[in-house]
Structure 1
Amino acid sequence: MTRQRREFGNIRKRESGRYGASYLGPDGLRRYPGRTFATRADAQAWLALHQTQMRSASWTDPRLGRRKLGDYGGQWIAEHQLSLRTRDLYASLFRLHIDPFLGHLPLDQITTEAVRSWRARLRDQGRSESTVAKSYRLLRAILNTAVDDGRISKNPCRIKGADRENPPERPVASVPEVFMLADRIGPTYRAFVLTAALASLRWGELVALRQRDLDLEAGLIFVRHSMVERGRHLEISQPKNNRTRTVALPGVLVEELKSHLARIPPNPEGPVFTGERGGVPRRGNWRANVRWRDAVKAIGLPDGFRFHDLRHTGNHLAAQTGASTRELMQRMGHSTVRAAMIYQHATDSRSREIADRLDGLIRSQQEVRD
C-alpha cells in the first residue's frame, strides 16, 4: 500500500486499487469521505472542495450532513411553531410528496439536480401545480434550517419559479348574489354566510367566534381563534399565521349580526354560529345539510363556487374600496404582501373609471381650444 502526503489532507491507495482520503477539520478532528474513489484525481477533487470551503468559511461538518432527510424533516415539522392546521398540512405534504422520494437521502447528498428530478417526478405523476409548489416551498424551508444548523453549506432548492402557484381564478359573487345565497341557505346560516363574505373570515375563524368576540356597538369583530378539524376532533388554535386581528364591519352586517344574536341564548363564552341542533358546523356535512350546490345553482353562480369563495368575494370588495395593501393584509389576516397583492387587480375597474373621466376631461378641453 502506497501513501502520498499532500499540502492539504492525505490520499492513500488501497490494496483494492481505489483511493481513500482524509483531512483535518477546523476543530482538529480528522474527516473521512465515507467512501473510496476510483482515481487519485477524484480524491484530490474531494480534498480541494473541502479546502476551498474551509478557506471561505463555508465548511460544514460532514457528519452532520449524513442525517437522512426523512428524520430531519419530521423533526423540523415537530419543532417549529405552527398552527395546528399548518402543521397538519406540512406533515401531509412531507409524508406524501417529499419523504417517499427524498427521505432516504442524507442531507448533504440532496443536490439541485436531485431536487429538479423530484419535482419533475411529482408533476409526471399527476400532482397538482399547487401541491408541487407547496411541497417545494416546504422542502426549501427545511433545507434552509439545515444550512443554519451547519449540516449543509447551501440550499439545493434553487429552481427559479418552482415556488409559484398559478391556480385558476376563483369565482367572485356580486353583492346581490351574496344576499340571495344567504336567503337560499336559510335563517340558521344567513349571518354565517354574510359574515364570511362581508368580513372576509375563514371557516375556522367563523366557527371559533364567541359572543364576546363581537362588539357590535363599535362595529368590530375580534378574530382571536380558529377551529381546526382533526378527524372527528375539534381543536381551538390561533388564526392562520398566528395573527389575531380586529375587523371593522359594514353597517349592514352589524344589523344582520344583531338580529342573529337576538335569536340565540346570550352567553359571552357561547358560540356565535351553531347548527340547527346547537352543534359546531362541520365542513364535511355542512354542504349537504344546507344543500349548498342547489342554492349556488339557483342564483346562477358557477357550479364550483365554494364556501371559501365568499371570503374571496369579500377580499375583492375590500380591494375595490381603494384600501392600501397594508390595510388589506390586516383585514384579511395575510402575513405577506404577495398574498394581499392578489386582490389589487380588483381595483382595475376603479382605474378604468379614472381613465374614462380623464379622457372626458381631455376631450372637453380640446373642444374648448378648437
Structure 2
Amino acid sequence: MANKKGHRRFGNVRKLPSGRFQARYLGPDGIERKAPNTFDTERLAGKWLTLVESEIIRGEWQAPEAGDVHLVEYGRDWIAHRKLQPRTRENYEDLFRLHIEPTLGHLALGAIKPQTIRSWRGKILKGGTSEPQAVKAYSLLRAILNTAIREDEILKQNPCRIPGYDRYHTPERPVATVVQVLALAEQMPDRYVALITVAAFSGLRWGELAALRRCDVDERAGTVRVPRKLAALKSGLEFGAPKSAAGIRVVALPAMAQAALTRHLVDYAGADPESLVFTGDKDKPLRTGNFRRAVKWSKALVDAGMPAGFHFHDLRHTGNNIAAASGASTRELMHRMGHASMRAALIYQHATSDRDREIADSMDKRIAKSSKPKGKGKRGRRKA
C-alpha cells in the first residue's frame, strides 16, 4: 500500500494533528493495522514499517493481537465450543487441564514457539506423563493452534510442527483364536455368554453393545442395527449417536452369534422393544468396572488361556481378523467395523446387505471349523 505521494512501497505514514507520525500497513491477512505507538519523526515511522515488511517477507510476521490472547482462555474456549462427542470433550478437558495448561496456559499464543513446545514436552515426560498421553496432548494443542491460524487468523504458523511428536509406538493388540473366544464365553456367568460371543463375531464396540435394544435385533435376518452408543461420562451414563456416520450400520451375525443372542433374548432381555439387550445383574445398563468384577475378568482370561493383556475391546479385533480372512474388502470391513476416522469417512461407502450376509456366512464356516469340540463343554447353556 502506497501513501498519497507514492513514496512508500509498503504501508504509509501520515502526520497527525498533534504533530506526531502514525504508521499503517496492510497485513498478509488483508487487514489494515496501525503501529502500536506513534513516532516523533516520519523517518522513525518509516523504519518501523521496514521492520514489519521484513518480517512478512521472512514469514515471521504474526498478528499483533496474538500477544493479547493467552492459551488458557483460548484453549478452554476452543474445547467448550467445538463440536465434540461428550466423551471426547471430557478427554480433551482432562488433557488440557493436566498436561497443557500448567506449563503453557499463561503464555500468549504469539509467544509459543517450536522451542517452547520442545521444552514443554520434555518437562511433562520427565514429570511422569506417559508418551501416549504426551502425544495426545501435543495433537490437541496442535488442533487448537490450527484454529488460531485458519479460522481466527491470530497466528501465522503453528509451533506444533515438530516431526515425530505426534506419533508413538503402539504394541500390536492381542488377537484371540475362535477356540479361545469360546473358552472365554464358557467362563462367563450365563448372563454374559452372549455378550462375549456377539462382541467377538460382530465387531461391535463395548458402547454399541451396551446400547443395543431389542428392537435393534432382527432375529429373522440375523442382523443387529447400531443406531447409538452408551458412553460413561463423569456425570453418569449417556446414550448418544455414534461418533460418525460410519458408526451407524447394520451388521450381519454368523450363526453361532445369532444362536447365542437368541437364547439371551429369551432369558435376559425384557419384552419391550426398547429394552436393553445386555444389562448387569440388576437389569441396569452395563458399566465396564461392574462387568469386570461380576465376571472375574482377570481370572476368566487365565482360565480360558487368553493372550496376556487381553482387553474386552480386543474381542473386536478377533471378529475383524475373521472377516478379513473371509475375503471382505477394505470398504466392507470399514462398514462392518464402523470405522470412523476422518480418512475413512472421506472414502466411506455403504457395503450392500447381501454382501455383508455373505461375509457373515463365510465367517460361520471358519468358526464352525475352528470350534469343533474335542470333548463335551458347557456351550448352549440355558438359565437354570
TM-score (norm 1): 0.77
Q: Which residue of 2 aligns with 1:256?
A: 260
1:177–1:22 distance in 2 versus 1, CA, 3 Å: farther
1:131–1:106 distance in 2 versus 1, CA, 3 Å: same
Matches within 5 A, 1:43-58: 46-52=51-57
Contact 2:212-2:278 at 8 Å conserved across structures: yes
Q: CA deviation at 1:9?
A: 6.8
1:23–1:153 distance in 2 versus 1, CA, 3 Å: farther
Q: Is residue 163 from structure 1 mapped to residue 161 from structure 2 by the alignment?
A: no
CA RMSD of the aligned region, Å? 3.0
SS across alignment from 1:262: helix
1:75–1:212 distance in 2 versus 1, CA, 3 Å: same
Q: CA deviation at 1:123?
A: 2.3
Q: Which residue of 2 aligns with 1:25?
A: 25
Query: Please, which runs of 5 or more residues in structure 2 have no aligned partner?
Result: 1-6, 14-20, 38-44, 346-384
Q: CA deviation at 1:31?
A: 3.0
1:222 equivalent among 218, 221, 225? 225
Matches within 5 A, 1:83-162: 83-148=85-150, 149-162=152-165
1:215–1:154 distance in 2 versus 1, CA, 3 Å: same
Percent of aligned pairs sharing the same letter: 44
RCO comparison, higher one (Cα < 8 Å, 6+): 2
Q: Is residue 274 from structure 1 mapped to residue 286 from structure 2 by the alignment?
A: no
State the distance in 1 between where 2:67 and 2:273 align.
Answer: 53
1:234 equivalent among 214, 221, 237? 237
Q: CA deviation at 1:25?
A: 3.3
Matches within 5 A, 1:1-370: 23-26=23-26, 27-32=31-36, 46-52=51-57, 61-64=63-66, 66-148=68-150, 149-231=152-234, 233-241=236-244, 243-263=247-267, 264-336=269-341
Q: CA deviation at 1:284?
A: 1.9
State the distance in 2 between where 1:152 and 1:337 align.
Answer: 25
State the distance in 2 between where 1:66 and 1:132 align.
Answer: 27
Q: Which amino acid aligns with 2:257?
A: L
After superposition, give the CA deviation of every residue in 1:286-341 in whole Å (9 maximum; x if it has no partner). 2111111111111222342221111222222222223222222222222238789x
Q: Which amino acid aligns with 1:101?
A: T
Q: Which amino acid aligns with 1:252?
A: M
Q: CA deviation at 1:181?
A: 0.6
Query: Which of 121-130 and 22-31 deviates more?
Result: 22-31
Q: CA deviation at 1:62?
A: 1.6
Q: Which amino acid aligns with 1:96?
A: L
SS across alignment from 2:237: strand
Q: CA deviation at 1:268?
A: 0.9
State the distance in 2 between where 1:230 and 1:335 align.
Answer: 20
The runs of at least 4 aligned residues of structure 1 exceeding 4 Å deviation read: 5-11, 42-46, 337-340
SS across alignment from 1:284: helix
Equivalences, count:
317
State the distance in 2 between where 1:104 and 1:141 align.
Answer: 18
State the distance in 2 between where 1:188 and 1:221 align.
Answer: 19
Q: Which amino acid aligns with 1:284?
A: G
Contact 2:10-2:25 at 8 Å conserved across structures: no
1:181–1:335 distance in 2 versus 1, CA, 3 Å: same
Contact 1:329-1:336 at 8 Å conserved across structures: no
Q: CA deviation at 1:46?
A: 4.5
Contact 1:8-1:23 at 8 Å conserved across structures: no
Contact 1:197-1:312 at 8 Å conserved across structures: yes
State the distance in 2 between where 1:51 and 1:130 align.
Answer: 37
1:130–1:28 distance in 2 versus 1, CA, 3 Å: closer
